[in-house]
Amino acid sequence: MRSYSFTHAIARRPAASIIRGLRAVDTGAPDLALMQAHHDSYVAALRGTGAEVTVLDALEAYPDSVFVEDTALCLPEGAILMRPGAPSRLGEAAEMEPHLAGLYSQMRRISGEDSFIEGGDILTTETEILVGRSARTNVAGIAELARLVADWDHVVREVHTPPGVLHFKTDCSLMDAETVLATDRLAVSGCFDGYKVIPVAPGEEAAANAIRFNGIVLFPAGFPRTRDQLADAGYTVHEIGNSECAKIDGGMSCLSLRFTPS
């Protein structure tokens, strides 16, 4: 199974409490109606590839809960519930559990009290699982994940998220089995040695968080040079408005869990 082919996805409608969502820099409150419209286009694009997409109800108690990616890691063999490092988001994983349990026969959990790990720090390729240490993901969380997936024959490689960057995948995306889209500030670390790297155009760093989902690349609108680079490389690029999620540090990958349940 290709690491960019999926039969299913789960998303969650944004809550009105999104205006209290976590953010590194205050650039104004997200507009809920516009965010919902972008979210609708996102879900429609996923469904357009033939995938079965579940859209969960908004969770007002968790302002950042639209960013479902951070709650779980979905592998072909089973799903692993994360332990988000942001205290206001810790409870989101338990909210996701019943939805994954209905689809997967095997569920595991990051459970160590000192273990923190968010899905946004995890890039799964065909050969390995790269996990970036960040303000949200620590050594104990990465070590626990490595133990949990060892008997499924997955290898975890610890890497670094650049300073000041929220998640590892804020700065990179898997485009196909051997190709990643990445910012220079991340790629200079050497973490993608052995992969082909498509560099994000200078000044378009926020375009690095895209997703390859079956035949298309969901890509944030507003980054024409990087978009054209991907198109020239042969990818079918589908632009989605991301202005409102960007205000609270969210992007294309954060908005869904993508998987093929076992």
Which of 108, 250, 257, 261 lies at the binding interface for ligand CIR (CB under 6 A)? Answer: 250
Instruction: Give the shortest CB-226-to-ligand CIR separation in angstroms.
Output: 18
Interactions with ligand CIR, residue window 172-231 (CB under 6 A) = none
Establish whether 64 is an annotated binding residue: yes
167 flagged as catalytic:
yes
Cβ–Cβ under 8 Å, residues 171 and 182: yes
Which residue, among 224, 192, 193, has the nearest Cα to 206 in the 3D structure?
A: 224
# binding residues, ligand CIR (CB under 6 A): 20
Which of 75, 249, 256, 259 lies at the binding interface for ligand CIR (CB under 6 A)? Answer: 249
Instruction: Give the shortest CB-209-to-ligand CIR separation in angstroms.
Output: 7
Establish whether 69 is an annotated binding residue: yes
- The nearer residue to ligand CIR, 12 or 89, going by C-beta atoms, is 89
Which of 56, 86, 90, 201 lies at the binding interface for ligand CIR (CB under 6 A)? Answer: 86
Which residue, among 162, 185, 158, 152, has the nearest Cα to 74 in the 3D structure?
A: 152
Cβ–Cβ under 8 Å, residues 56 and 10: yes
- The nearer residue to ligand CIR, 22 or 146, going by C-beta atoms, is 22
168 binds ligand CIR (CB under 6 A): no
Number of neighbours of residue 97 by Cβ within 10 angstroms: 15
Which residue, among 219, 13, 208, has the nearest Cα to 120 in the 3D structure?
A: 208
Q: Taking the CA of residue 5 as centre, how many other CA atoms within 13 Å lie in the half-sphere pointing to its CB?
A: 4
Interactions with ligand CIR, residue window 101-160 (CB under 6 A) = 119-120
254 flagged as catalytic:
yes
The pairing of strands 179-182 and 237-240 is: unpaired
Establish whether 19 is an annotated binding residue: no
67 binds ligand CIR (CB under 6 A): yes
- Binding part of the chain for ligand CIR, among 93-101, 142-150, 166-174, 210-218 by CB under 6 A, reads 166-174
Cβ–Cβ under 8 Å, residues 220 and 246: yes
Establish whether 136 is an annotated binding residue: yes
Establish whether 40 is an annotated binding residue: no
Largest CA distance in the chain: 47
Establish whether 248 is an annotated binding residue: yes
Tokens representing 81?
Answer: 């519930």
Q: Which residue in this structure is represented by tokens 């680079």?
A: 229
Cβ–Cβ under 8 Å, residues 149 and 128: no
Q: Which of 39, 99, 154, 167 is catalytic?
A: 167
Cβ–Cβ under 8 Å, residues 170 and 145: no
62 binds ligand CIR (CB under 6 A): no
Q: Enumerate binding residues for ligand CIR (CB under 6 A).
A: 21-23, 64, 67, 69-70, 86, 89, 119-120, 166-167, 170, 248-251, 253-254
Catalytic residues: 167, 254
